[in-house]
Amino acid sequence: MALLTSSASPSAARGAGRGKKVSFMESQRLAKQKAYEKQAKKKKIGLADVCVFTQQLSSMLEAGLPLVQALEALYEQTEQPVFQIVIREVKTDVSSGTAFSDAVRKYPNAFPNLFISMVEAGEASGGLASILGKVATYFEQSVKLTKKVKGAMTYPIAVISLATVLVNVLLIMVIPVFADMFAGFGADLPKPTQMLIDLSDFLKSYILYILVGLFVFYKGLNKVTSTPKGRIMKDQFLFKIPVVGNLVQKVSVSRFCRTYAILLRSGVPILRSLEIVSNASGNTFIESAVVRITRHVSQGGQISEVLADDPFFPPMVKHMAKAGETTGNVDGMMDKISDFYDAEIETIVEALTSLMEPILICVLGVVIGGIVMAMFLPIFQLSSVVG
C-alpha cells in the first residue's frame, strides 16, 4: 500500500504542475482579452484592416450568407485582436435585433463615417452587399494611394536618419580621438578643423539636453497642430512648400472627389454626403470649402459655383463639376477627376523617388567628405612642413 502511494505521488504532482501551468496560461489569456476589450472603443483601427473586412463581408453577403453568420466567420478569421473584439460586439448587437448601422456606429475609431453612412444607405435600399462592394473598392484605392505617398517618403527619411546617426557618431566618438592627437602638434589648427572640434565638444556636453529638447519640441508641435488654428497653420505651411504643396493638394482633391462620388452614387443625401466628405478629408482647405458649399447648396445653389471661387481647387475640377451638373452625371465626373489626379500623384511620387536618390547621395558625400577633409587638413599641413 505504501508502494502504491509513493508511486502515485510523482504523477499526481506532475498533474498538479500541469494544472497550474494551464491555469496560469488561461489567466494570461483572459488578462489579454480584457485589455483588448478595453481598447475596443479607443484604439484606431487601420484602414487596411477595415478594407479587408468590408471586401470579405460584401463577398459573403453576395454569396447569400446571412449577416450574423458572415460576421461570425469574420470574427474567427480576423487576426487583429482589438478589431476581432469589435466584430464580436457588432455581431452580438445584430443578433439581438440592432440595425447593422447602429451597431457599427458605437465604434467610430474602427468604422469611418463613410462606412456607417453607406451601411445606412444599403439598409434603406436593400442593396447592402453591392454598396459594401463599392466601399471596399474605395477603401482599397485609398490604401493604395496612402502607401504610394508613404513609400516615396520612406527612402529619404531612412537615409536622412541613418546619415544623422552616422554624423553624430563621427562627431562624438571619432573626432575627439583626432583632437587629442592634434593637441600634441603645438600649432594652430585650420579653421574648418577647429570648428569641427568645437562642434564635437558641444555635442559631447549637451547631446542629452538636445535630445530632450527635440522630444519636447516634437510633442509640443503635435499638440499645437491638433488644435483648429494649428491645423490651419500646418496645412498653409505644407501648401506653400514647392513640390510637397502640389502633392498635398492633388491628394486632398482626389479624396474629396472620390468620396463625394461614391456617396452620391449610393443614394446618400447631398448635405449628409458633404458632411462626410468634410470629416474624411483631413484638410482644412477642404473643410472650409465644404462649409461654404453646404451653405450655398442648402439655399438652392450648385457646387460648381462655390468651387469656381475657391483657389484651392484647380480649374479642371470647377469645369468638370459644372459639366457634371449640366449633364446630371456629377458622380461620374467626380470619379474621372479623381482618376486623373491619382495618375498625376503616381507620376509625382515616381519622379520624387527617382530624384531623391542622387540628391541624397550628393548631400551625404559633401557632409562626410567635408568632415574627413577637415580632420586631415592638419596632417597635410604637418607633412608639407616636414617636407
Instruction: Give mean pLDDT, residues 250-263.
Output: 87
Distance, CA of 164 to CA of 169 (rounded, Å) = 9
Among 347, 356, 329, CA closest to 250:
347
Instruction: Give mean pLDDT, residues 213-239.
Output: 90
Grid cell 510633442 in the structure block, residue: 219
Instruction: Give mean pLDDT, residues 205-216.
Output: 89
Per-residue confidence (pLDDT) for residue 258, from 0 to 100:
87
330 in Cβ contact with 265 (< 8 Å): no
What is the overall mean pLDDT for the chain? 82
Over the stretch 143-153, which tens digit does the pLDDT of each residue have? Answer: 887 887 777 77
- CATH architecture of the domain covering 47-111: Up-down Bundle (1.20)
Per-residue confidence (pLDDT) for residue 10, from 0 to 100:
53
Q: How far is CA 117 from the centre of its chain?
A: 23
Domain range summary for the chain, segments of one domain joined by +: 47-111
Q: Give this prediction's pTM.
A: 0.72
Q: What band does 304 get if pLDDT is binned at 50, 70 and 90?
A: confident
| pLDDT greater than 50 at residue 301 | yes
